[in-house]
Structure 1
Amino acid sequence: MLSAQTSITYGFNNFFLLFLQNNLSSNMATPAVLRIILGQNDSSKISLPSGIPDSVEELKSEIKRQCEVAGDFRLQYKDSDFDEFINLKSTSDIQNKATLKLIYLPSASSLTSPCLSSVEPSLDETASISSVDTDILSSSSSSSSSLRCEPWPDVFPVPEFVYDVELQLQRANTDFQNNGILFSPSPRMKSDILESLASQIIKYKAYPCNAEFDAVAEALVKKHPCLKEQGSVSGFYGWKISLKYKMANYRTKLRNIGCSELNVNSFKRKQGDPRTSPNQVKKARRAEVNYCPDYPTGQSQESLEEERLALLSEVRKSNNQQVVKEKMEKTFAYRRHEVIEEKPFIAEFKRRWPALFSEQEVEAEFTRITTVPLRSKFMQQLDHHSTQLITIFKRKGGAAGRKIRTIMADLDKNDAVETRRACVLKALMVYLNEDPENLIREYMDVEDNQEAMDQTVLGIFAIKMEGAESTDGLADVGIIIEGVEVLHDLDNTANAVAILFGLMYSLDLSYPTNLKYTFEVLQKLVMELDGNKLSTKAQVLKNKLFEGTF
């Protein structure tokens, strides 16, 4: 029998050992990393030094902190048994290097996308997120109610028509499959079909190009083969022409009811503006999805001006990024009208909208306009094509080839990813017969070159460190527009080019004549925006770029 003192001592020792064991196990928790899918073509990695949290709520808090995500959301994890995303109920279901996806709830406000969609795009595990199964990041604020959420689709979704039209088409399709008889719709039925297609097209853009009309007409006859045209080579040429006329009439109808995107082109509106030619059409020309949106529901020019004034005070406060972002999103339509209709000088616009001139806000504005992430897409595509581009550059002969080899020599001194990107971009300009110095100017000292910088219409300045031999030795990188330094401390040349590209959209700037091919390639081949129609020079490069990939 143990004495009372011995029992107490034995119990205390057991308690002390258990306490030490629990503390040691918690202190020795295995660190973990998780891949977080934030939205379409947007993912991030978070580190958990103390291991995966015990509760889902703790994990959500950590995601909000590290990914700077606001609003409410639920989590899904990639289940290995079913190979699909399933709602996360317990953190015991996930392990180190697991993939999680954020599903934003209706009250959530996104940091990376201005629109709300219930569509859930799917994930390609090896590359990026497609637009089939993953929720597009969204905001349910009133500022986004009039914004388009998706770019032009790869395959146009033909809508469901009114009941009687659908019924007749079903019977006609069956008759076509059984007997090969084509269907000739009545004028009224054809008008109903075209009207539905026009209302579907306007969800993506107001001014489709010729290739996009082709895509819509082709999708129509594929879904309803009974509507193919006998005697037409494509089988849908007549539908395409009719659709063009219907779309023009549909735009007129929307313009008459006050649609801002179309009203900006009204002849009556332009008569009172001496700066604008009546024949000038202000429309999306570079795959802008939200070019000139309507003001949010319940808002007017006066109320949004009050929001802008409030934004001026908010931007001066520290640690106030979320409030600034919400107000920037709310005033997006007001800002776009100002940029497109008034065409302000950069100095004046920067004074009115100082919050826009930061890397994060340029990226957010670009995403609002195009629905495409800026820097992640730019860097991913640039890195993806770099190897083939370098191979193409090596084949270049003559003076351009010698200049390219001088530029690429920096890679022998430093093969860092930033140096590689900068060399590829400069060599790309030379390959397109454009001078890199028209875009990127390198200086050793700011004071000695201040006059030249003040005279720069549009470009990037790079201040080199004393004694630096390659493009990585930069003390500062910034952007100048109309002689105004709009951004600086951009880390590296490639990042500055990406941000400048975003500013071209945010400020509705035209591409410089002496750099038009460079920006065309960046837009259509790198960012994959409106890449159907290319200049001869860009098409030749595209052909070489994709040699051997099919």
Structure 2
Amino acid sequence: MATSAVLCIILGENDSAKVTLPLGIPSSVEELQTSLRSKPWPNAFPVPEFVYDVEIQLQRANIDFQSNGTLFSPNPRMKSDILEMLASQIVKYKAYPSSAEFDSVAEALMKKHPCLREQGSVTGFYGWKISLKFKMGNYRTKLRNIGCSELTVNSLKRQQDDQRTSRNQVKKPKRAEVNYFPDYPTGQTKQSLEEERLALLSEVHKNNNQQVVKDKMERTFAYRRHEVIEDKPFIAEFKRRWPALFSEREVEAEFARITTVPLRSKFMQQLDHHSSKLLRIFQKKGGAAGQKIRNIMAEYDKNDAIETRRACVIKALIVYLNEDPESLIREYLDVETDQSVDQMVLGIFAIKKEGAEPTDSLADVGIVIEGVEVLNDLQNIANALAILFGLTYALDLSYPKNLRCTFKVLQKILMEMDVRHLSKAQVLKNKLFE
């Protein structure tokens, strides 16, 4: 998309149809974040104020409902105005809400304006939910027509002929991403951002240049996301084009841009918070898995350092979820010549010094993706796993099939992202909060 990003403004027949998305006009790096969503989907959806005449009618109808139970049926135009305003509020958080999220919007509308409840509906808002789904579809079409990247990426005109009927080709947030596919900053084009990227290549090799690198990474965030989502580059090529991303500091920053969630501080805090309860849960595990967990925890008995505790809890958690920790974490001695990290699709390598004491730190810890060593010198396994989790978002990587349950638990329980859909993680969460 070579044209500059535009503010997504829908002009209707009257003022009630005017909708402005939360996209600011960034004139500097400090203002750039205003062009991005700043909050995930709220626990309680904030129903907006409607246009004046609609609010007046709803207030009077609510008074009638409270006094004599009379329900209010808005005329088609008024209902359309209500739905349009709700759609404009929804898109501040995401363009593709789930069914449960539509439920939360309709339920919030009924709580604020109980006069709108429906007779004959179990929930009291089922009809509103269906109407809202249709309105949201129409609203997305409007936004797509004026060039919002998050929606134009799924336009049939942009897809190959053999992909036009494939629903699997729809690119949208699936793991609680808040800024999944943002527009280019206002006034910027693909060409101007490519020039920023080239300038970044020279800046990244300079000493004491972290602030300049950070600013340029901020400016080029949308450009980088377009490349990741649309082109799906190989990791080796992407690392060559964006070497600045492959540092602990910038992985954290990229994760925060995408999700608005702090990465390592949240990961470590939650891991430590749940560790004691997890250890008690693991002790009750029987059979072969229980024996594997006890063998893993024996290492913690030799070294009670916090880094060892975290690593043992992580490995035991993987076993508890009926997955193989060696699929994620490969441990080697520094004298071993067969350190086949180039065969790893996605994982962590940890190198120990030969003859090292249990209390000694690891010689090296790093991350491998598609056989490419993308980061090293990460100090310990827990830190490496946090950065690896951040990279799955920064690079839009799917969770490995043989470790999917582990990564889902990291996402939904440790990082508390998209907790509405827990599936297998629900059993573990129930035990943690008993």
TM-score by length of 2: 0.91
Q: How do 1:456-475 residues align onto structure 2 when only pairs under 5 Å count?
A: 456-468=344-356, 470=358, 473-475=361-363
Aligned to 1:177: 66
**1:248 to partner: Cα distance:** 1.0
**1:116 to partner: Cα distance:** 11
Aligned to 2:43: 154
Q: How do 1:310-325 residues align onto structure 2 when only pairs under 5 Å count?
A: 310-325=199-214
SS in 2 for 1:296: coil
**Any conservation in 2 of the 1:146–1:296 contact (CA below 8 Å)?**
yes
Aligned to 2:192: 303
| Residue 400, structure 1, aligned to residue 289, structure 2 | yes
| Residue 189, structure 1, aligned to residue 78, structure 2 | yes
Distance in 2 of aligned mates of 1:426 and 1:384: 17
Distance in 1 of aligned mates of 2:87 and 2:262: 28
Give the residue type in structure 1 aligned to 2:431. Answer: K
**Any conservation in 2 of the 1:142–1:296 contact (CA below 8 Å)?**
no
Structure-2 change in CA distance of 1:471 and 1:369 (3 Å): farther
Deviations 1:317-349 (A, max 9, x none): 100000000000000000000000000000000
SS in 2 for 1:337: helix
Distance in 2 of aligned mates of 1:483 and 1:356: 18
Structure 1 runs (4+) greater than 3 angstroms displaced: 139-143, 274-278, 468-473
Structure-2 change in CA distance of 1:240 and 1:472 (3 Å): farther
**Any conservation in 2 of the 1:151–1:370 contact (CA below 8 Å)?**
yes
For structure 1, list consecutive stretches of 5 or more residues without a partner in the other structure: 1-114, 118-138
| Residue 492, structure 1, aligned to residue 387, structure 2 | no
Aligned to 2:270: 381
Structure-2 change in CA distance of 1:472 and 1:398 (3 Å): farther
> Which of 156, 160, 166 matches 2:55?
166
Structure showing the higher helix proportion among its residues: 2
**Any conservation in 2 of the 1:267–1:278 contact (CA below 8 Å)?**
no
**Any conservation in 1 of the 2:29–2:219 contact (CA below 8 Å)?**
no
> Which of 484, 503, 507 matches 2:391?
503
Give the residue type in structure 1 aligned to 2:365. Answer: V
Greater Cα offset, 473-482 or 286-295: 473-482
| Residue 522, structure 1, aligned to residue 418, structure 2 | no
**1:415 to partner: Cα distance:** 1.2
**1:417 to partner: Cα distance:** 1.0
SS in 2 for 1:540: helix
Aligned to 2:431: 544
SS in 2 for 1:541: helix
> Which of 463, 476, 483 matches 2:371?
483
SS in 2 for 1:477: strand
**Any conservation in 1 of the 2:23–2:36 contact (CA below 8 Å)?**
no
Give the residue type in structure 1 aligned to 2:226. Answer: H
**1:245 to partner: Cα distance:** 1.1
Give the residue type in structure 1 aligned to 2:141. Answer: T
| Residue 345, structure 1, aligned to residue 241, structure 2 | no
Give the residue type in structure 2 aligned to 1:544. Answer: K
For structure 2, list consecutive stretches of 5 or more residues without a partner in the other structure: 1-21
SS in 2 for 1:376: helix
Distance in 1 of aligned mates of 2:329 and 2:375: 14
Over the aligned positions, Cα root-mean-square deviation in angstroms equals 1.7
SS in 2 for 1:404: helix
Aligned to 1:29: none
**Any conservation in 2 of the 1:145–1:297 contact (CA below 8 Å)?**
no
Structure-2 change in CA distance of 1:469 and 1:518 (3 Å): farther
**Any conservation in 1 of the 2:328–2:346 contact (CA below 8 Å)?**
yes
Distance in 2 of aligned mates of 1:531 and 1:262: 25
Structure showing the higher strand proportion among its residues: 1
SS in 1 for 2:338: helix
**Any conservation in 1 of the 2:62–2:114 contact (CA below 8 Å)?**
yes
Higher normalized contact order (CA 8 Å, seq sep 6+, divided by chain length): 2
Aligned to 1:122: none
Aligned to 2:4: none
Q: How do 1:19-34 residues align onto structure 2 when only pairs under 5 Å count?
A: none
**1:447 to partner: Cα distance:** 6.0
Distance in 2 of aligned mates of 1:153 and 1:214: 13
Give the residue type in structure 2 aligned to 1:485. Answer: E
**Any conservation in 1 of the 2:172–2:180 contact (CA below 8 Å)?**
yes
